[in-house]
Chain A
């Protein structure tokens, strides 16, 4: 499916924004278990100091992203989970004093276990938005052979250009991080998937691959710009003609997909011992100067928008993520978190839901070959078990169906309701 790309910031180099006066660090920024706080009010912290961690495996620790003092604890609603999460507020002392980074003498000589340890300690999660802890993704269950690793540089969501800029400006680190993954998993094939609307990134990485001596190991595959190309399931289908079983993971068919910003951060974690405290965020839409910013995690959205010259034009919504899968965030004091790739300021869609006219456009658009309108109808009727029989688990909420619907039906919204109902029911059984 074609969607207007609106990549306003494709040409804008990444700019670091000034350190914020205070940051808000939610203790739950990954899929999986939340962190327990390791500090209390009044504690002094250094940039990069671990302030939250958990015993659980499916978790990634969180770090202070500025130096200063823990000034408060608060609660935020964390978009990835929709649940309220405790958060720590750090008031910056303006000095940005870092913890001492433990860069290994010989990064090449690290064992797999040591590498995974460093990735975990850095608090890395999937930066494409899924926020699944990276060390977990790199630890396939015993006996599962991963034959293919895919580096995902598709960035098929309109507006977002953070991955694009990361490929252009941190290309070496991206590839170095990918090479670390290759060491950990020793797959047979490593592919780099990039949409053909980023020809400069394809060229750039192509040259780097040669220069860095990865010619035998990595293969770039340019893909047509199409939505939702970058979604794992669609990507695998296009690239390998393999389908992930319903309700399963790419892992089940021997594939692991990583996002380019994640592999860049893997490089930083392993080669420099650098915890994950900042990321590239595209700030776009109706702001005065749309930009790609290098932002400390925990920076309030307001600072990003102000740095880009403020809102300039008609806007009614601030969206975290891209326009297709992003989530509205009305509170501008909300912080940038690990999964924030984009802050989009936009006019909202007119909400005037009509009855379904059975035009079939949603079926045509659905990359999972579902019947989205039926899922919406079953949900409206409260027949969640029918949703399940109609393979609702396959839906990854790409929004393509609702994008094309002429009757303005918020299909994805209905699907989310049904999914959470089904989860609730499964829990009480």
Chain B
């Protein structure tokens, strides 16, 4: 047998084999639940929005990598960004706007900061914030779920001040839970978001701390706050439940706030992140000029994540507080 050449590589020589792209595609898989709900309730156009957003994201990533003379890896992160962006857009948004937003997400919010791992803001939320500023009318036009076929009838989202609900409370909660209500493509069905989110928690892809503290904080604050969102609510519990189910909280808490790169790395830091985002969301919803605050709350917490990571220390093994001798 001819002598072989043996290599030298740094240890460990065993690895779990959980690559970045595997993680990303598991996230994509989990996102298929709210995606399916979006297509079911909002029909062909919603599907087109999703396809355009994902395609634009992947192509932009490819182009930017080529321009920066960096290798392009189909690691799935652009697919996640494109998909997430589509899910938080109104179902009737013109497709060219979707493409612009998606390009912005990848080229500016992600790649201009150095690419995956270096971006400060969640690319999808950054893209959405940009679109809200640029296309204010289209970004606030909401329709009744029409499925395939029927024409879209406009309808206010549950959190907006013009929202009225004529039927009984129970049916309101049912529609909020199932998703048969006005809102962004992937935000309306709490049930399917929950399935996808719990799947990610069960697979240990995301940390339960962020969604739990985020949603918990929103529930707690709306519970203790004396006012109610809709006149039909008679107890603070009903109001809290409404705030948890309505708008973008569920999708944001499970899929946006848990983005690794833009959320803190320590467990303590993640709890702070969740609570902070919860407080901000409630403040914006109750007192701000906007009906919904999830997007901006998470973006704000993204911005202070480097600070959280800097100041939250974990106690290492064997650490004893040193007695200070001077000062």
Q: Is B162 part of the contact surface with A, judged by Cβ < 8 Å?
A: no
Q: How far is the CB of A375 from chain B (nearest CB, A)?
A: 11
Using known A-B contacts A357-B117, A368-B317, A394-B318, determine if residue A406 contacts B22 with beta carbons closer than 8 Å: yes
The contact string, 1 if C-beta is below 8 Å from chain B, for chain A 370-391, is 1101000000000000000001
* B contacts with A: majority SS: loop
Q: Is B166 part of the contact surface with A, judged by Cβ < 8 Å?
A: no
Are A399 and B7 in contact (CB-based, < 8 A)? no
Q: Is A83 part of the contact surface with B, judged by Cβ < 8 Å?
A: no
CA distance A240 to B7 in the complex (A): 41
| Residue of A with least CB distance to B205 | A359
The contact string, 1 if C-beta is below 8 Å from chain A, for chain B 1-24, is 100111111111111101110110
Q: Is A39 part of the contact surface with B, judged by Cβ < 8 Å?
A: no
CA distance A323 to B10 in the complex (A): 11
Residues of A within 8 A of B66 (CB): none
| Residue of A with least CB distance to B16 | A404
Using known A-B contacts A244-B318, A357-B116, determine if residue A348 contacts B14 with beta carbons closer than 8 Å: no
Are B317 and A330 in contact (CB-based, < 8 A)? no
Are A407 and B316 in contact (CB-based, < 8 A)? no
| Residue of A with least CB distance to B114 | A355
Residues of A within 8 A of B12 (CB): 323-325, 349, 399, 402-403, 412
Using known A-B contacts A371-B266, A404-B16, determine if residue A311 contacts B4 with beta carbons closer than 8 Å: yes
Interface size on A, residues (CB 8 A): 61
**Which of A162-170, A181-189, A200-208, A314-322 is the interface stretch?**
A314-322
Using known A-B contacts A233-B318, A360-B260, A373-B265, determine if residue A354 contacts B7 with beta carbons closer than 8 Å: no
The one of B10, B265, B317 that contacts A358, using a Cβ cutoff of 8 Å: B265
Are B11 and A407 in contact (CB-based, < 8 A)? no
* A contacts with B: majority SS: loop
CA distance A324 to B16 in the complex (A): 11
Residues of B within 8 A of A412 (CB): 10-12
Are A357 and B7 in contact (CB-based, < 8 A)? no
Residues of A within 8 A of B116 (CB): 354-355, 357
Using known A-B contacts A330-B7, A359-B260, A406-B18, determine if residue A391 contacts B319 with beta carbons closer than 8 Å: yes
The one of A237, A328, A354 that contacts B317, using a Cβ cutoff of 8 Å: A237
The one of B1, B4, B261 that contacts A357, using a Cβ cutoff of 8 Å: B261
Q: Is B150 part of the contact surface with A, judged by Cβ < 8 Å?
A: no
Q: How far is the CB of A221 from chain B (nearest CB, A)?
A: 20
Are A330 and B265 in contact (CB-based, < 8 A)? no
CA distance A408 to B196 in the complex (A): 27
Residues of B within 8 A of A357 (CB): 20, 116-117, 260-261
Q: Is B238 part of the contact surface with A, judged by Cβ < 8 Å?
A: no
Residues of B within 8 A of A237 (CB): 317
Residues of B within 8 A of A328 (CB): 6-9, 11, 13
Interface residues of A in 346-371 (CB under 8 A from B): 346, 348-349, 351, 354-361, 363, 367-371
Q: Is B169 part of the contact surface with A, judged by Cβ < 8 Å?
A: no
The CB with the most chain B CB atoms within 10 A, among A318, A351, A357, is that of: A357
Q: Is A158 part of the contact surface with B, judged by Cβ < 8 Å?
A: yes
Using known A-B contacts A246-B319, A373-B265, A391-B319, determine if residue A360 contacts B13 with beta carbons closer than 8 Å: no
Residues of A within 8 A of B261 (CB): 357-358
Residues of A within 8 A of B316 (CB): 246, 368-370, 391, 394
Q: How far is the CB of A69 from chain B (nearest CB, A)?
A: 27
Are B14 and A403 in contact (CB-based, < 8 A)? yes
The one of B13, B16, B260 that contacts A319, using a Cβ cutoff of 8 Å: B13
Q: How far is the CB of A422 from chain B (nearest CB, A)?
A: 16
Q: Is A410 part of the contact surface with B, judged by Cβ < 8 Å?
A: yes
The CB with the most chain A CB atoms within 10 A, among B12, B116, B316, is that of: B12
CA distance A316 to B22 in the complex (A): 25
Using known A-B contacts A324-B14, A360-B266, determine if residue A369 contacts B8 with beta carbons closer than 8 Å: no
Q: Is B314 part of the contact surface with A, judged by Cβ < 8 Å?
A: yes
Are A348 and B317 in contact (CB-based, < 8 A)? no
The contact string, 1 if C-beta is below 8 Å from chain B, for chain A 303-333, is 0000000110001111100011111111110
Are A408 and B9 in contact (CB-based, < 8 A)? no
| Residue of A with least CB distance to B310 | A374
- Additional A-B contacts beyond A243-B318, A317-B9, A344-B13 (19; CB < 8 A): A233-B318, A248-B318, A317-B8, A324-B12, A324-B14, A328-B8, A348-B13, A349-B15, A357-B20, A358-B117, A360-B260, A368-B317, A373-B265, A394-B318, A399-B11, A399-B12, A399-B14, A403-B14, A413-B11
Q: Footprint of A on B, CB under 8 Å?
A: 1, 4-16, 18-20, 22-23, 73, 75, 114-118, 207, 260-261, 263, 265-267, 314-320
- Closest 10 CB pairs between A and B? A399-B12, A355-B117, A413-B10, A323-B14, A330-B6, A323-B13, A328-B8, A368-B317, A243-B318, A359-B260
